[in-house]
Amino acid sequence: MERRFNTEEALKILKDCYITDSVQSLRKWIREGKIVAEGTPYRQEGYTIKEDDLKAFIEEERPGLLEILNVYHQVNDRIQTGIKSIVNPQEEQSPHNNKVPNPKTEEIKIIEPESESDDLGVLFEMLMELEQQIKELQLKIENVIREISERKEFDEMKNELDKMMEFKIDQMKKELEHIFLADMKIQPITNKSTPDKSAKPGNHRTKSLEEFIGFLRKEFWNANPGNEKLKGERNKKFKEEARGGYSLFYDEKGLFRDEELRSANDDDGLELKLMINNQESIITGQNRKELMKQYFEAVFLPKMKGMENPLGNI
């Protein structure tokens, strides 16, 4: 039977993988569908996550890390207890383990040959060289893990700085516009009877690329039990197709293309025109979500399944 982890266990494993130590981030990824999880009957226990689903998420965030840690574990028995449950679960369950010497803290004991046999001398030199190679490999692995962690922190810091600069520029524009209108004694025209259609980030009015990918995964892909789990090459293909579809619905600012997609025959409907094999095809929907659902079923899903002409049945 496949093992499952509760929220606390999964968080420790993600921390050992240098991904996050924040339970809020873990719960956010679960809500967005990036980590497939199931609720438990007891509220205090939170969610349960299958081992394969957790491995798939780690591979997506840290490609190749689990394989590196598996090699690392073979020469170093001081790997963190959390990630050990995924890297080498058999050893964790066994009460009697054959301990592998840790080349960082323990010297590999080698008895020098008492005889002057040339064969034993050569073997002794080979073992000493092997010990040095193990130590060098361990140092390289630690450097790679540290560089991955530092790179992610830099990217997160850059994204926060970009958002802050964009907010400040927008705020300055609004202040200058207000001062200009005041000097000219002009009042901006507003329609109090029309509700404000601006929306907070995360709904269909505005979405970032990452939110769009998470939305397709959670609402359409995961909703169908017949779809395969998104991991490895299939997950990469899913993201690639989602990036191609994002610009069809949202502009460079992340705003939904309401005016461009509004139906010419129905003021309340939306339509998406696509050119496939030099032939124009039209996808329609009564609202934004329905239009994206029709696109997912008619275009996105067939592409994921390798169909050459996804709109052939429209």
Sign of CA dihedral 153, 157, 163, 166: negative
Q: Which H or E run includes 274? A: strand 270-276
Q: Is there a domain that residue 192 lies in? A: no
51 phi/psi in degrees, rounded to 5: -60, -45
Residue 310: predicted pLDDT: 54
0.85 cut: is pTM over it?
no
Q: Are residues 45 and 85 in the same domain?
A: yes
56 phi/psi in degrees, rounded to 5: -60, -40
72 by Cβ neighbours in 10 Å (0-12 / 13-18 / 19+) ranks as buried
Give the Cα separation of 81 and 78 in Å (integer).
Answer: 8
Expressed as residue numbers, the domain containing 224 is 209-304
What pLDDT digit, counting tens, does each position of 42-69 carry? 555 578 999 999 999 999 998 888 877 7
CB–CB of 281/314 below 8 Å? yes
Q: Which of 73, 93, 113 is the last residue of a domain?
A: 93
Q: Are residues 219 and 170 in the same domain?
A: no
23 by Cβ neighbours in 10 Å (0-12 / 13-18 / 19+) ranks as middle
Q: Are residues 118 and 139 in the same domain?
A: yes
Give the Cα separation of 23 and 201 in Å (integer).
Answer: 22
Q: Are residues 169 and 231 in the same domain?
A: no
Q: Are residues 107 and 175 in the same domain?
A: yes
The amino acid occupying position 90 is: Q
Q: Are residues 85 and 127 in the same domain?
A: no
Closest listed residue to residue 73, CA positions, set 90, 56, 57, 61: 90
Give yes or no for residue 201 having a pLDDT over 70.
no
What pLDDT digit, counting tens, does each position of 120-179 carry? 566 667 777 787 888 888 888 988 888 887 777 788 888 888 888 888 888 888 877 777
Give the Cα separation of 102 and 78 in Å (integer).
Answer: 7
Q: Are residues 223 and 272 in the same domain?
A: yes
Q: Which H or E run includes 182? A: helix 118-183
Q: What is the mean pLDDT of the chain?
A: 76
**Two tokens at 9?**
């266990």
Closest listed residue to residue 48, CA positions, set 61, 33, 36: 36
Q: Which position has the higher pLDDT, 71 or 37?
A: 37
Q: Are residues 107 and 88 in the same domain?
A: no
Q: Which of 32, 64, 93 is the last residue of a domain?
A: 93
Q: Which of 93, 118, 142 is the last residue of a domain?
A: 93
Q: Is there a domain that residue 80 lies in? A: yes
CB–CB of 285/268 below 8 Å? no
Q: Are residues 221 and 281 in the same domain?
A: yes
Give yes or no for residue 114 having a pLDDT over 50.
no
Q: Are residues 45 and 18 in the same domain?
A: yes
Start-end of H helices in 17-108: 23-32, 51-61, 65-75, 81-87, 89-93
Q: Which residue has the tokens 């010990």?
A: 131
Q: Are residues 213 and 297 in the same domain?
A: yes
Q: Which residue has the tokens 């202040």?
A: 175
Total domain count, the chain: 3
pLDDT level of residue 77 (50, 70, 90 thresholds): low
Q: Is there a domain that residue 310 lies in? A: no
Q: Are residues 141 and 180 in the same domain?
A: yes
Query: Across residues 269-288, what is the average pLDDT?
Result: 83
